[in-house]
Structure 1
Amino acid sequence: MSTALAIGAVTAILKGLLDNRLAAASGDFGGSVPDVTVQPPDLVVPADTQGDVDRLNLFLYQVTPNVGWRNIGYPARDSQGDRISCPPLALNLHYLLSAYSRVAFRSEIMLGYGMQLLHEVGVLPRELISARLAALVDPPENVLAVSTLAQQIEGIKVTPAALSTEEVSKLWAAFQTHYRPTAAYQVSVVLIESELPARAALPVRAANLSVQPFKRPLINTIQPQILEPGGRLILQGENLKAANLRLRFGDEQLVTPVATDMSDRQISVTLPMDLSAGINTVQVLHLVDFGTSSPDEPHRGFESNTIAFMLRPTLTPPASVTAGATLNLPVAPPIGRKQRVVLFLGDRAIAVPQRSAADPPTTGTLNIALPGDLTPATYLVRLRVDGAESRLTPDTGPFTGPTLQVL
């Protein structure tokens, strides 16, 4: 693969070939050798130039993705986000070859020699690319010598491009300069590869084959959608049952349901005790066992869609506390340092600050500083953690608990 210098290297190689071709035909230009430039058309001939100026200009006016190579090497990252490959940046280069002269017919002669050269080249041989890049010893071109263009897998092809009158008119209108005799070319493909390190899997010692029917599990609904720690979750859907079945809660927590609690249309499972309060997700995994002694057995197989549910916190408030004192409130499940917590006493909200980084990652007891202006009374207590709110009892009729007496 090539480096990011490859685009400039292609332009420098084509310029060198055009230089040599016009030098060999100097007799057709009255003994002088026209210049070959690689500038924007509006800068080729400065406004204050006096006398005759013979120049053949090669201008890179557009760069587009190469359709054939654009998806090679993907995916670049695995499911954990680690880089496993460096897909090449595959590009087509689009050039305009324009001739400038104040002498009659000289523009046409220069353009003819240039078009003949690009027609005869067709494909740039690797030996030619290496020789041309090695000859770039003067600045600023010398930095292009290390582009490794000759080592890329695909060859460099030069093909003429047919532009309509409308396209040519729009291009020269964008250049904001006078039109000159022009021919368009496409150079493909330039492959630029990143130098970022990528992880590589260990060699495969043996191959195992397991043939199974395609039965992707599908979760349609879950009941209930709001649970408390240790609650029972019921998943309903299609193709749920499998010989090696796991339920994934969140990103990593895996649970194996009891065989008697699962069928193709329903799975019942008790929630893991270490889930965090707030929004959680569950997914059905059908794993594949290849019958080896690998520690990775069973391997990943079919995965269902992901369904979200709410895990509400539970709390056990003390009988009483003094206004302005610190309330020690036992909660379940344990609260993480970065979770957003709000305590409600009646209809008054008390924001709980996040704990410091020096504290443990989770805690089962919240230490909440109560405001000193709380009116002594008995309050209904609620706790909201990441949008999940603890339950008041009973479910029907007036609420009676849990309560906290503020002295």
Structure 2
Amino acid sequence: MSNVLAVATATEALMLFLARSLPPDIGFGVNVVPGKPPAEPPQDPTISVFLYQVTPNAAMRNRDAPTRGPDGAVLRRPQAAIDLHYLISFYGDETKLVPQQLLGAVVRSLHEEPVLSRTDIEAAAQRAHLAGTDLAASPQRVRFTPAQMDLDDLSKLWSTMLQTPYALSVAYQATAVLLDGRATPTAGKPVLRRAIRVEPFVRPGLDRVLSVPSGSGPDVAPDEGPITADRDLVVFGVNLRRPGLTAMVGGKRANVVRLADDRVVLRQPDTLPPGTHGVQFRYEVTLGEPPVTRPWLESNLVPYVRRPRVVRARWQQGGIVVRTDIPVSLDQRAVLLLDEYGPRDRPRSYQFDARFPLAPGSDPVREFTVPVTGVAAGRYLVRVQVDGAQSPLEFADGAFTGPLVDVS
């Protein structure tokens, strides 16, 4: 962990390391300078250290997540993990192979000591422009690894440095430098005493939701038909018979009719609008000192579709007025479906979108008007689809019988 001077400190420490590691292999003075390779290659023995790229460290980039709680409070100090990519270039008298001598010494030194030492980092921190750096205190050590670059990679890299002639160079990757954020996490509360309670933990699991007619006895088998407001939910699962059950349907509390280990019968909340809703069970657990009972044990969530019924539909000039058995929220999307009723080879079908919002006035509504145009006169079966929940049709003697609307 370190502050914003960590990158510059790593570069300065690398240069100090190269400068001290050259003797006694190299018997002449060498300048180690920062920056990109010069446009005019120096004749004196020189090593340039150029930080040409910075990338996120793949292994540590999300190690600090999450950094904030649901209320926005800082849980831990944000931390950016980055890798530094260096190009180390060598200059000198080519007739005496000075660049190659420098390259050999640098490669051997970095292979022998691939990790920046605390001594070099503390020496770099003595520079006036790096005062206040704390890279030496970071538990994460900076390690140098040679980067393999083919001719294509080298060509792309050097082409970005306009009017700079190519020089003998090696590339190294420094892994990893951690940069701390400015936010300070809040301190935890002091602990007065510790209390441990062991309770058997068997998490309830929900599987699927079927339904039975409301008020049915235990001998009535649930079916997979449309779940309308006049039916009770039958939720299947495992480990459901526990004390302190609270059943939540669509975020609202539902009354429990019958309870067994593998199924629970629920009454749907009356104010639940049409659409897809989730069913979840919560069980009370008593913990703490003094004991506190809360619904801490939760099941998974399973969805079901609450489908409206069309109670009545009537034609009026320019639209059809639809009344449903359950209230519909004004911000829900409704679609009217008309299918011609009667013996025809090719019965006509129409689909119309309701206005949004559905109707003026109080929210929710049971009756709203859907504008229709171009509908041929006749009798039609009426369905309404609210947020994907489609109303069922009445069925008798092998045919659909309603609800119906006469369009004149």
Letter matched to residue 236 of structure 2? Q
Letter matched to residue 257 of structure 1? V
For residues 120 and 374 of structure 1, what CA distance do their matches in structure 2 show? Answer: 81
Q: Which residue of 2 aligns with 1:124?
A: 118
Q: Deviations over 1:352-384 (max 9, x none)?
A: 021189976x42234325336545544332111
Q: CA deviation at 1:256?
A: 5.9
CA contact (8 A) 1:313 1:388 kept: yes
Q: Which residue of 1 aligns with 2:312?
A: 317
The 1:72/1:298 distance shift into structure 2, 3 A limit, reads same
The 1:205/1:342 distance shift into structure 2, 3 A limit, reads farther
Letter matched to residue 389 of structure 1? Q
Q: Which residue of 2 aligns with 1:381?
A: 382
For residues 390 and 82 of structure 1, what CA distance do their matches in structure 2 show? Answer: 46
For residues 248 and 52 of structure 1, what CA distance do their matches in structure 2 show? Answer: 80
Q: How many residues align?
A: 373
For residues 288 and 274 of structure 2, what CA distance do their matches in structure 1 show? Answer: 38
Q: Deviations over 1:67-106 (max 9, x none)?
A: 4x55643445668998754552333435443312234243
Gaps of 5+ in 1: 137-144
3-state SS, counterpart of residue 312 of structure 2:
coil
Matches within 5 A, 1:359-374: 362-371=363-372, 373-374=374-375
For residues 197 and 395 of structure 1, what CA distance do their matches in structure 2 show? Answer: 70
Q: Which residue of 1 aligns with 2:219?
A: none
Letter matched to residue 357 of structure 2? R
Q: CA deviation at 1:232?
A: 0.9
Equivalent position to 2:89, from 98, 101, 108? 98
State whether structure 2 residue 210 is matched by structure 1 residue 223. yes
Moved more, 74-83 or 378-387: 74-83
For residues 259 and 73 of structure 2, what CA distance do their matches in structure 1 show? Answer: 35
Q: Which residue of 2 aligns with 1:330?
A: 323
CA contact (8 A) 1:123 1:155 kept: no
The 1:116/1:336 distance shift into structure 2, 3 A limit, reads same
Q: CA deviation at 1:10?
A: 2.5
Matches within 5 A, 1:49-88: 49=40, 52=43, 54-60=45-51, 63=55, 65=57, 67=59, 69=60, 72-76=63-67, 84-85=75-76, 87-88=78-79
Equivalent position to 1:180, from 137, 156, 168? 168
CA contact (8 A) 1:232 1:270 kept: yes
For residues 328 and 196 of structure 1, what CA distance do their matches in structure 2 show? Answer: 58
Equivalent position to 1:189, from 176, 189, 212? 176
Gaps of 5+ in 2: 159-164, 212-223, 340-348
Moved more, 76-85 or 204-213: 76-85
For residues 246 and 100 of structure 1, what CA distance do their matches in structure 2 show? Answer: 77
The 1:372/1:3 distance shift into structure 2, 3 A limit, reads same
For residues 333 and 79 of structure 1, what CA distance do their matches in structure 2 show? Answer: 35
Q: CA deviation at 1:17?
A: 6.5
CA contact (8 A) 1:239 1:265 kept: yes
For residues 353 and 118 of structure 2, what CA distance do their matches in structure 1 show? Answer: 70
Q: Which residue of 2 aligns with 1:142?
A: none
Q: CA deviation at 1:389?
A: 1.0
Q: Would you tell me which structure has more strand in proportion to its own residues?
A: 2
CA contact (8 A) 1:323 1:406 kept: no
CA contact (8 A) 1:172 1:178 kept: no
What TM-score do you get using the length of structure 1 for normalisation? 0.71
Cα RMSD over matched residues?
Answer: 4.4
For residues 72 and 237 of structure 2, what CA distance do their matches in structure 1 show? Answer: 30
For residues 68 and 234 of structure 2, what CA distance do their matches in structure 1 show? Answer: 34
For residues 38 and 349 of structure 1, what CA distance do their matches in structure 2 show? Answer: 69
State whether structure 2 residue 336 is matched by structure 1 residue 343. yes
For residues 391 and 315 of structure 1, what CA distance do their matches in structure 2 show? Answer: 8
Q: CA deviation at 1:272?
A: 1.9
The 1:6/1:317 distance shift into structure 2, 3 A limit, reads farther
CA contact (8 A) 2:142 2:177 kept: no
Q: Which residue of 1 aligns with 2:7?
A: 7
CA contact (8 A) 2:74 2:185 kept: yes
Q: Deviations over 1:294-315 (max 9, x none)?
A: 88x41523533x3222111123
For residues 358 and 274 of structure 2, what CA distance do their matches in structure 1 show? Answer: 19
For residues 84 and 358 of structure 1, what CA distance do their matches in structure 2 show? Answer: 46
For residues 41 and 146 of structure 2, what CA distance do their matches in structure 1 show? Answer: 34
CA contact (8 A) 1:238 1:265 kept: yes
